[in-house]
A and B are shown apart, each in its own frame.
Chain A
Amino acid sequence: MASSFTRILSSKRHLGILSFVGGSVTAGFLLHREHVSAGVPVRRRYPASAEYPDLRKHNNCMASSLTPALYAKLCDKATPNGYTLDEAIQTGVDNPGHPFIKTVGMVAGDEESYEVFADLLNPIIKERHNGYDPLTMKHPTDLDSSKLQSGQFDERYVLSSRVRTGRSIRGLSLPPACTRAERREVERVVVDALAGLKDDLAGRYYSLTQMTEEEQQQLIDDHFLFDKPVSPLLTCAGMARDWPDARGIWHNNNKTFLIWINEEDHTRVISMEKGGNMKRVFERFCKGLKEVERLIQERGWEFMWNENLGYILTCPSNLGTGLRAGVHVKLPLLSKDARFSKILANLRLQKRGTGGVDTAAVGGVFDISNLDRLGQSEVQLVQTVVDGVNYLIECEKRLERGQDIKVPAPLKLFK
Chain B
Amino acid sequence: MPFGNTHNKLKMSYSSEQEYPDLSKHNNHMAKVLTPEMYANLREKETPSGFTLDDLIQTGVDNPGHPFIMTVGCVAGDEETYEVFKELLDPVIEDRHGGYKPSDKHKTDLNPENLQGGDDLDPNYVLSSRVRTGRSIRGFCLPPHCSRGERRAIENLSIESLDVLDGDLKGKYYALKNMTDDEQQQLIDDHFLFDKPVSPLLLASGMARDWPDGRGIWHNDNKTFLVWVNEEDHLRVISMQKGGNMKEVFNRFCTGLTTIENLFKERGHEFMWNEHLGYVLTCPSNLGTGLRAGVHVKLPNLSKQDKFGDILKRLRLQKRGTGGVDTAAVGGVFDISNADRLGFSEVELVQMVVDGVNLLVDMEKRLEAGESIDDLMPEQK
Name A residues whose Cβ lies closer than 8 Å to a Cβ of B.
1, 4-5, 25, 28, 39, 42-47, 50-54, 57, 78, 80-84, 86-87, 90, 93-94, 109, 173, 176-182, 184-185, 209, 235-236, 238, 240-243, 245
Contact = CB atoms under 8 A, between A and B. Distances in A.
A349 to B, nearest CB: 34
Interface string B1-20: 11111111111011101111
Interface of B: 1-11, 13-15, 17-22, 50, 54, 58, 61-62, 147-150, 152-153, 177, 203-204, 208-211, 213
Given A50-B152, A82-B9, A177-B5, A245 B208 contact: no
A245 B149 CA distance: 34
A241 B61 contact: yes
Contact of A81 (B10, B20, B54, B203): B10
Given A1-B18, A53-B213, A109-B4, A45 B149 contact: yes
Contact of B5 (A43, A179, A184): A179
A179 B58 CA distance: 11
B15 A1 contact: yes
Contacts of A84: 4, 7
Given A4-B14, A176-B3, A181-B19, A54 B213 contact: yes
Contact of B62 (A5, A179, A243): A243
Chain B CB within 10 Å — which of A80, A238, A245 has the most?
A238
B157 to A, nearest CB: 13
Contact of A180 (B2, B19, B209, B213): B19
Nearest to A82: B7
Contact of A181 (B14, B211, B213): B14
A83 B18 CA distance: 21
Given A4-B14, A53-B210, A81-B9, A241 B147 contact: no
A25 B54 CA distance: 22
- State the majority secondary structure of interface residues on B: loop
Contacts of B19: 179-181
A228 B176 CA distance: 30
**4 interchain residue pairs of minimum CB distance:** A46-B149, A177-B4, A82-B7, A181-B14
A87 B147 contact: no
B145 to A, nearest CB: 12
B218 to A, nearest CB: 20
13 contacts: A5-B13, A39-B7, A39-B9, A45-B147, A81-B8, A93-B209, A94-B209, A176-B3, A179-B14, A179-B19, A181-B14, A238-B3, A241-B204
Contacts of B14: 4, 179, 181-182, 185
B18 A181 contact: yes
A368 to B, nearest CB: 33
A51 B148 CA distance: 5
Nearest to B4: A177
B9 A25 contact: yes
Given A53-B213, A180-B21, A242-B61, A86 B147 contact: yes
